[in-house]
């Protein structure tokens, strides 16, 4: 009977051991950054230096490396991008590197579902890019970041130990935005107002004015009148912008204060533009 009870207790204890939670040697990580209209996501595992020689040691030179640990690092683009002059369709790719003492080769491979680089096949590469590594302060754990991103470009940085390599990415934001604007619903004032604000940001005054006139024709508000004033001022027509800023201030005074969120900007512009 005692033997039976001991056997039952041991059997019941096994699931507890199976569910034991402990820190992973190379914990998983995910970085996502929206740049322009593109979501860039890097899914990877993060090994530590642990006092080891990394480059030319743990990570040999001139051999394919998974650029992380465990499963091959994945990079996902939600929209088509351009890398090294080559079109990259939206999708998920395995990211490999071939470290060298002076330069590295960065690889996007079409087979995203790989464990490490053990079954890596160069014939399924989408592209290869040669880059020069940069020296950085000591970083114990490997990490990725999307840096220096604008509407038009972004960098994907890999950092580990005392080294950084960068994969430059060009975005197709302007092309994608134009397509979205053409397809926008013309029955409401907001879409064309948003389009005009985008053109204001990129300083395309002519397209901005065309878009804001469509917005105002649908419904005149303090906001779209103010956007038109900014577009005119930006294009050098401050004299024409001033009365529109006054009108935006009058229209804005008729709405709840919380909804007139550019009140101070308009007040400031009226001071700056007066008499010009």
Question: Looking at residues 135-157, what average pLDDT do you find?
Answer: 97
Considering the domain architecture, whether residues 202 and 161 belong to the same structural domain is answered as no
Long-range Cβ pairs for the range 45-48 (8 Å, 24+): 45/69, 45/70, 45/71, 45/73, 46/141, 46/142, 46/143, 47/141, 47/142, 47/160, 48/140, 48/141, 48/142
pLDDT value at 11 more than 60: no
Looking at per-residue pLDDT, the higher value among 204 and 17 belongs to 204
CB 69, CB 118: distance < 8 Å: no
Looking at per-residue pLDDT, the higher value among 117 and 230 belongs to 230
Owner of token pair 């004299």: 239
Domain annotation covers residue 14: no
pLDDT value at 7 more than 70: no
Q: Grade residue 18 by pLDDT with cuts at 50, 70 and 90.
A: low
Long-range Cβ pairs for the range 121-126 (8 Å, 24+): 126/86, 126/88, 126/93
Which residues span the domain enclosing 154?
A: 22-171
57-110 residue pLDDT tens: 999 999 999 999 999 999 999 999 999 999 999 999 999 999 999 999 999 999
| Among 171, 197, 229, residue at a domain's last position | 171
Spacing of C-alpha 244 from chain mean position: 36
Whole-model pTM: value is 0.84
How many structural domains are present in the chain? Answer: 2
Taking the CA atoms of the chain, what radius of gyration do you get in angstroms? 28
Q: Grade residue 140 by pLDDT with cuts at 50, 70 and 90.
A: very high
pLDDT value at 17 more than 90: no
Domain annotation covers residue 2: no
Domain annotation covers residue 3: no
Question: Looking at residues 5-23, what average pLDDT do you find?
Answer: 58
170-180 residue pLDDT tens: 999 999 999 99
Considering the domain architecture, whether residues 190 and 211 belong to the same structural domain is answered as yes
The C-alpha atoms of residue 70 and residue 74 are separated, in whole angstroms, by 11
Considering the domain architecture, whether residues 30 and 87 belong to the same structural domain is answered as yes
pLDDT above 90 covers a percentage of the chain that reads 87
250-273 residue pLDDT tens: 999 999 999 999 999 999 999 999
């Amino acid at each position: 009977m005692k033997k039976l009870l001991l056997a039952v207790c041991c059997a019941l204890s096994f699931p507890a051991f199976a569910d034991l939670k402990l820190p992973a040697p190379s914990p998983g990580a995910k970085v996502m950054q929206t740049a322009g209209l593109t979501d860039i996501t890097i899914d990877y595992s993060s090994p530590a230096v642990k006092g080891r020689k990394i480059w030319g040691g743990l990570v040999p030179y001139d051999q394919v490396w998974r650029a992380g640990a465990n499963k091959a690092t994945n990079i996902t683009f939600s929209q088509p991008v351009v890398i090294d002059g080559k079109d990259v369709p939206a999708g998920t790719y395995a990211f490999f590197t071939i470290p060298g003492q002076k330069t590295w080769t960065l690889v996007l491979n079409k087979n995203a579902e790989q464990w490490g680089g053990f079954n890596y096949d160069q014939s399924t590469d989408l592209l290869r890019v040669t880059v020069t590594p940069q020296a950085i302060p000591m970083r114990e754990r490997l990490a990725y970041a999307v840096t220096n991103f604008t509407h038009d470009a972004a960098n994907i940085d890999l950092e580990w130990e005392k080294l950084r390599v960068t994969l430059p990415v060009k975005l197709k934001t302007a092309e994608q935005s134009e397509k979205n604007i053409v397809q926008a619903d013309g029955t409401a004032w907001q879409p064309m107002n948003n389009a005009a604000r985008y053109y204001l940001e990129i300083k395309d005054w002519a397209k901005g004015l065309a878009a804001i006139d469509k917005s105002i024709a649908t419904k005149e508000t303090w906001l779209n009148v103010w956007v038109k004033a900014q577009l005119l001022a930006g294009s050098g027509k401050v004299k024409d912008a001033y009365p529109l800023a006054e009108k935006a201030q009058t229209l804005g005074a008729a709405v709840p204060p919380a909804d007139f969120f550019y009140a101070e900007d308009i007040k400031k512009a009226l001071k700056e533009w007066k008499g010009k």
